[in-house]
Homo-oligomer: A and B are copies of this chain.
Amino acid sequence: MNAATPLPQRGLQMRSLIKPDGELELALHSVEVVPPKPTEVVVRIEAAPINPSDIGLLFGAADIDNTLAITGSGAQARATARVPERALRAMAARAGQALPCGNEGAGTVVAAGDSPAAQALLGKTVAMLGGAMYAQYRTIAEDQCLLLPPGTRPAEGASCFVNPLTALGMVETMRREGHKALVHTAAASNLGQMLNRICLADGVPLVNIVRKPDQAALLREAGAKYVCDSSSPGFLGDLTQALAATGATVAFDATGGGKLAGQILGCMEAALLSQAKEYSRYGSTTHKQVYLYGGLDTSPTEFNRNFGMAWGIGGWLLMPFLQRIGPHAAQALKQRVASELKTTFASHYSREVSLAEALQREVILGYWKRATGEKFLINPQRDAG
């Protein structure tokens, strides 16, 4: 093992614990910095985003709005909240385990195992996917690191995986399942803006669904052709027209709950029937698909089945998708991300905080609400040694 500077013995790591009695506890733990095996490296994490997909592991089903309580500060910071009784059964499998959090991050390789591939990364800036990123140090296999192009700051590479690969995965899923255009909801998000840039670059027709007029304006300024605002009274008509114009028959929905998924299917069906030549008693025979990849709306999903029989709604998740397409195709997507990191896949953060600050009340309430346009970055190097 080589180390650029002497490796500290311990570092802070954020963990989420749900106790069997229903108390959620988010706290910083002092954990050993594990020396690298020959094919591993130790990364000093300098940037890790709080993605919507991190929120589930951080808070489980806890009632943050009404029961959040904070004690301590600095390395002793500790946030607690109650998981409602009715939701405890779904949390049973994680009860009693203090789970490390943070899907992705970036930083500097400060120690490396003896293998040439690990050694080659020493001193370099890398991005990582793999959990436990809300920490000062992370020991990880070298082949789980993406070497960032020279001159890339950790903050620029911190969101290399989750959003970029999810956006690319949507377009790839559309192609592999035989659709020719796609629909995206919560389309003004960081991920949505990325998807818009990908679709513009690749010539893929994209129907963007947003929830506010200023979000629609933002996307139109970024070149989006089809933008439908669900807060507008003419939303369903606008959406049907955009679907007819693009022929989109697959949608990726970040909201998950409420009526939106069913409305999309209903408008897809109306668009298809408006172009049909004869009546079909079971509706259009064209398969219409909505994938729920997020849960911004935690209310139940509800739909009226006014879209014939050729339809599907299902979950969509990045990791199983990458496994399905295989390592070769997955690597091609990652390379595209690395080479377009400052353009197509650029992320914007509204606030940078330390690990300890990420456990402060107003900070938690800030990222908890997952507001479009607000994205938090954790920089564990802001925490005291």
Instruction: Tell me if A316 and B306 are in contact (CB < 8 A).
Output: no
Known contacts A279-B93, A320-B285, A315 near B304 by CB under 8 Å? no
Q: Does A281 contact B (CB under 8 A)?
A: yes
Starting from the known contacts A301-B305, A302-B302, 15 additional A-B residue pairs (CB-CB under 8 Å) come to A56-B281, A89-B270, A93-B280, A94-B279, A99-B279, A295-B305, A300-B303, A300-B304, A308-B315, A310-B320, A311-B315, A312-B312, A312-B313, A312-B315, A313-B313
Cα distance A314–B282 when bound, in Å? 14
Which residues of the partner chain B approach A319 to less than 8 Å between Cβ atoms?
A: 282
Q: Mark A95-108, 1 if CB is under 8 A from B, else 0.
A: 00101000000000
User: Main SS of chain A's interface residues?
Assistant: mixed
Given known pairs A281-B94, A312-B315, A320-B310, the reply for A302 and B305 (CB within 8 Å) is no
Is A204 interfacial (CB-CB < 8 Å)? no
Q: Is the CB of B320 within 8 A of A273?
A: no
Q: Which of A271-315 contact B (CB under 8 A)?
A: 273, 276, 279-282, 285, 292, 295, 300-306, 308-315
Quick check: is A256 within 8 A (CB to CB) of the other chain? yes
Q: Mask for A250-266, Cβ within 8 A of B = 1, else 0?
A: 00000011000010000
- Of B309, B314, B317, which one neighbours A317 at CB under 8 angstroms? B309
Residues A305 and B292 in contact, CB atoms below 8 Å apart: yes
Q: Does A57 contact B (CB under 8 A)?
A: yes
Q: Evaluate whether A281 and B57 lie within 8 angstroms (CB atoms) in the complex, with A93-B276, A303-B301, A305-B295 already known.
A: yes
A292 to B313, CA, bound (A): 11
Residues of B within 8 A of A280 (CB): 93
CB distance from A77 to the nearest CB of B (A): 23
Chain copies in the assembled complex: 2
Q: Which residues of B contact A257 (CB under 8 A)?
A: 305
A79-136 contacts to B (CB < 8 Å): 89-90, 92-94, 97, 99
Q: Taking the nearest CB of chain B, how far is it from the CB of A203, in angstroms?
A: 29
Q: Which of A11-49 contact B (CB under 8 A)?
A: none
For A310, the chain B residues whose CB sits under 8 A away are 315, 317, 320
Chain B residue contacts of A270, Cβ below 8 A: 89
The residue of chain B having its C-beta at the shortest distance from the C-beta of A270 within the complex is B89
